[in-house]
Amino acid sequence: MKMKSLSNKFSMAALVLLSLIMIFPFFWLVRSSFMSDREIMSMPIQWMPSSYSFDNFVLAFKRAPFLRYFENSIFLVVVNVIGQIASSSFIAFGFARFNFKGKNFWFAMILSTMMIPYTVIMIPSLFFGRA
């Protein structure tokens, strides 16, 4: 019983340590966003800003048109979702209602392409997109 309890405590401590390691970059990002350049680069390291400043956010919104970027992203998402739903519905209807030669083969091909992770396809598609 003691061994299991010790193992659980060790596992919990390891998980907490790993969680802190994973969260640290996000903490650093948020902390730095409220600091001036001088505070960010100061030595010794300041863990918290001396005064919270939103100047970095104002500067970022002045230098880049984030609203336009957001509109472009929403447009692309909506068009892709509508196209995906429409094409998937037509293909699913065809597979469900019609019997044709090679139906099982083509269904297996569609399922097998869905099983390939996007990261495997991403690099070759970048090369084809440049050509």
- Domain map of the chain by residue range? 65-131
**pLDDT range class, residue 94, cuts 50, 70, 90:** very high
- What is the C-alpha separation between 103 and 96, in angstroms, rounded? 10
Stated pTM of the model: 0.54
- CA–CA distance from 45 to each of 37, 80, 99 (Å)? 13, 45, 69
Q: What is the pLDDT of residue 68?
A: 92
Element (H, E) at 7: helix 2-33
**Termini Cα distance of the chain:** 64
The string of DSSP letters for 76-103 reads: HHHHHHHHHHHHHHHHHHHHHH---TTH
CA 71 to chain centre: 19
Average pLDDT over residues 70-98: 95
Average pLDDT over residues 70-91: 96
Q: What is the pLDDT of residue 1?
A: 52
**pLDDT range class, residue 69, cuts 50, 70, 90:** very high
User: Which residues have CB under 8 Å from 46's CB, separation 6+?
Assistant: 35, 39
Q: What is the pLDDT of residue 47?
A: 84
Query: Whole-number mean pLDDT of the chain?
Result: 88
Q: What is the pLDDT of residue 7?
A: 80
